[in-house]
A and B are shown apart, each in its own frame.
Chain A
Amino acid sequence: MKIETVVNGHKRIFDITPDELLADTLKRYDYTSVRKGCDTTSCGVCTILVDGSPVPSCAYLTARAEGKEITTVEGIAEEAERLAEHFGDEGADQCGFCNPGIALSVHALKLSRKSFTEENLRHYLVGHLCRCSGYQSQIKAIQRYLGDAK
């Protein structure tokens, strides 16, 4: 079947099977940043935005994305670069496999304009496993990025 979506601001038509999942579709259509870290929707690596909300693309039916706006980290390059600078300053960047997904969740948070305490932020990001950083440096970098740092 064919579906029409908007990816990173551009109209795209995807030719898919009915049970295809968005992570696989996006990978097939060369959105390299979309990667998978698990088979059970429990790591956060594959996170993308659908209509501005973070979702696990590894479990999201592509068929359901018909008419929706999809954002991968390629679509927020400047924001990602700025976030990366803060990660760099805090030493929060290690293997980086978790990073694009985090960048998207953080971007969604920024757009929501909610103000976040450190505790809130830790709760908000609980679905993004990171095996390298120990998290604290990431949290600090994100707080700086969001302009919430004291």
Chain B
Amino acid sequence: MKKTKTVNQKVRSIDGKGIMMGRAAYTDDFAPKAALVIKVLRSPHAFARIKRIDKSKAEALPGVEIVLTHEDFPRNPFTRAGQGYPEPSPHDKFALDDHVRYVGDEIACVAAHDEKTAEAALKLIEVDYEVKEPVLDFEKAKGNESVIHAEESIHEMFPIGFDPEKNVAAAYHMEVDDVEKRLSESEVTIESSFYTQAQAHTALEPHTVNARIDYLNRLVIYSSTQTPFHVRRILSQALEIPLNRIRVIKPRVGGGFGGKQAIHGEMLAAMVTMKTKKPSRLTYTRKEVFEATYSRHPMRIDMRLGATKDGRITAIDCYGLSDTGAYGEHALTVFMVTGSKVLPLYNKVDAVRFHGDIVYTNRMSSGAFRGYGAVQGNYALESAIDMLAEKLGMDPLALRQKNMIAEGESSPIFEIMGEGTAGTAMNMESCKLDYCVKRGMELIGYKDKYPRQEIGKNKLRSVGMAIAMQGSGIPYIDMGAATIKLNDDGFYNLLVGATDIGQGSDTILAQIAAEELGVDVEKMVVYSSDTDLTPFDAGAYASSTTYVSGNAVWKAAKTMKERLIAEAARSLGVEPEDIEFQGTSFKNKKDDEELTLSDLSNTLFYNDDQKQLSVTESYYGTKSPPPFMAGFVEIEIDKETGEYEVIDYVSVVDCGVTINPKLAQGQIEGGVVQGLGMAMTEDVKIAANGKLITADFLNYKIPTGKDIRKLTTEFAESYEKSGPYGAKSVGEIGIDTPPAAIANAVYNALGVRIKSLPVTPEKILSALKEKNGKHHMMGMRSHDGRNL
């Protein structure tokens, strides 16, 4: 790789200062002062039909501008999921409906001149319900008497196994070779079920939207979204507003993690503003974010592994049951990632099967969440691998090293499984997993610390680990585009559809363009995610931005360079081949005459053959090169109480070349800590009637800076030929390993295998008691987390 000045160098984010200084940046900062305040009436029932709804009293309240119910919306089913079109998610949602399907589902909304009035008006809306029997246990959903979606016009966009009469949102099956046969022939097998919980994203900025009608009589939406272009399309289809009448602007987003890869408040704000012709704003309360957006798909995963006595893994069978909640957003695709971005880790098997159902329940919808199914699958597989190693009498690391995927290799799964459809075959052009594992062992001190050490009477320290892979965008489906525009005085605008949601994409895309064009990052002024002004981009999801949008930017910069060289040659009266491009200047190789970029641009604007230089390029992936990671954790655990603490979490990552090493580290560490939250404390809990218990930060516990003592993060030297400057993705991979690494560390400490997340001290203790043969504590949960 040739020496770079900006890429892979220490470059500060381009926007950090203004953000720290509190400048207007986020959606709500741009809400017009006079905007109507929207408040949403939400269902108190897990499942009910609205028999009658009377809004007259609410509308009569002084200060109330409008009240909307399902009667005010066109009846067009859509999916809120922000995905490529046609979406692999069922169209099973109406803006407002005469049925409510979870506690928190929208019934109506009020727009009033202030918040207090809007809230008072909510109480005046009269609703009569026919309460129906809810389905809250996802293991009882399929074929349940209670059918959650019986509406007529709902449909799938192409076959995804949609079978609403059976409460099945989607289903999937694939098999390579004959798994049952291979398993029955295996010398050693293990079999186990794992449960993963719903996890809440908890981006600190709540979901926020505001709407107005501009002087061209067009609807302008500001939204804290990860997918502005998808939002525009979905709004247009659902509300029957021509696409050209809508503009969606994404300001700074205060965290997304998948939770904003969908339409949430946009539909209501758009309708209020369309009907009243007045600006409106809707900011979810934290309770609404917890209760009525998305969480991670809870799953049960049944893993069966077969191996030879000497530790060659021969077969993997993975059955999954996934809970999509009330609506089927991302149902199939998240589920497929549970297989497709997990099972290829052990690519030398003779047979592999992945199958299962994604079912509806009367819980809040599940949706996209960093890791997108891979976390769930990783926890199950990487726990099972440790179990297999024990049965084989092998070191779990040795078992992994013997069987895991390596550079130059492939897996048949890549070709079979894609985004709700078939996938794309690919070889691992870059895969430093082997290095990641070895380096991680050194950093954590595996040799000395595995499996455990006594420290004091009640305390142990132990280590655990897991390996993981993810993807880099969705091949042949998601496209990103970039425009680079030259300005006088020789600076550029970089216009991208890519969506910075805090991950720093504006910065790294500017770095890529600046590198190619040989200028400082300050000369590359970025504007992103405005459907009127920037080119298209599918959005910030599927770990696509660096790889897909980055490639688009790189292409645009290369094209711009050609155009610049041509103009410089013309200006100097030579051929393009005679020009040496030096970024801020051009040299005539023949006589060393120089022309500065600034002079060239000024001339192009004002003096000679005037023109605006502007190029747009697009890119879609033809493969999705996986980043890889080895995660190692050291914990200190109290034998008597099951309480444990993370002493160090070591991540060694192969994400190709890091465009911005510090921001890449931030992505990994943020992901790891979010994964540790999932592993240790985070748990969306509902009461017996379906009402959310964990509806605030007091009851839903995410890690603080005091909870994880140390993070150690390194990157493998790696170069992905198809990526911009050798880069792959880095946004999701960090979250994948912690659940299995923690469960493995707990096992290595105490010999108890926790098969349901989160791995709580209480479950550990309960499992210990069971293991030690003491009579079981009444009413406690067993180690697999099921109520006894």
Contacts and interface: CB of A to CB of B under 8 A. Distances in A.
**A contacting B, Cβ–Cβ less than 8 Å:** yes
Interface of A: 31-40, 42-43, 45, 72-74, 77, 80-81, 83-85, 87-100, 103, 122-123, 125-126, 128-139
A85 B501 contact: no
Nearest to B697: A42
Contacts, number: 183
Contacts of A88: 12-13, 16-17
B665 A91 contact: yes
Contact of A42 (B13, B23, B670, B696): B696
A107 B696 CA distance: 28
A75 to B, nearest CB: 10
B27 to A, nearest CB: 11
Nearest to B700: A42
Contacts of B20: 73, 80-81, 83-84, 87, 93, 96, 99-100, 103
Q: What is the size category of the interface that chain B forms with chain A?
A: 35 or more
A40 B698 CA distance: 7
Contacts of B203: 95, 97, 131
Given A39-B285, A88-B13, A131-B702, A100 B696 contact: no
Contacts of B778: none
Given A32-B29, A131-B674, 7 more contacts: A37-B204, A84-B21, A90-B662, A126-B706, A133-B670, A134-B673, A137-B665
A140 B86 CA distance: 45
A50 B536 CA distance: 46
A132 B705 CA distance: 12
B662 A138 contact: no
B255 interface: yes
Contacts of A97: 26, 203-205, 254-255, 502
A146 to B, nearest CB: 15
Contacts of B661: 91
Top 8 nearest A-B pairs (CB, nearest first) are A33-B22, A95-B502, A91-B662, A88-B12, A134-B669, A97-B254, A96-B19, A135-B705
B698 A134 contact: no
Chain B: interface secondary structure? loop
Contact of A129 (B285, B287, B697): B697
Given A91-B662, A94-B502, A95-B502, A85 B17 contact: yes
Nearest to B503: A94
Contacts of B503: 94, 132
A94 B204 contact: no
Contacts of B28: 35
B101 interface: no
Contact of A74 (B17, B21, B660): B21
Contacts of A95: 203-205, 252-256, 501-502
B670 A132 contact: yes
B202 interface: yes
A81 B22 CA distance: 10
B504 interface: yes
A85 B12 CA distance: 8
Nearest to A128: B705
A91 B252 CA distance: 17
A69 B668 CA distance: 40
A96 B666 contact: no
B206 interface: yes
A73 B708 CA distance: 28
Contacts of B705: 122, 125-126, 128, 130, 135-136, 138-139
Contacts of A100: 19-22
A93 B19 contact: yes
A96 B697 contact: no
A99 B17 contact: no
14 contacts: A35-B29, A43-B286, A74-B21, A77-B21, A88-B12, A88-B16, A90-B662, A93-B504, A95-B502, A96-B15, A130-B705, A134-B668, A138-B705, A139-B705
A76 to B, nearest CB: 9
A42 B255 contact: no
B204 A81 contact: no
A89 B12 contact: yes
B221 to A, nearest CB: 20
Contacts of B13: 88, 91, 93
A77 B28 CA distance: 21
B15 to A, nearest CB: 8
A133 B280 CA distance: 32
A132 B665 contact: no
B665 to A, nearest CB: 5
A94 B540 CA distance: 14
Given A81-B21, A91-B665, A134-B711, A37 B16 contact: no
B112 interface: no
Contacts of A122: 705-706
Contact of A91 (B666, B703, B711): B666
A11 B502 CA distance: 35
Contacts of A137: 662, 665-666, 669
B633 to A, nearest CB: 14
A95 B20 CA distance: 10
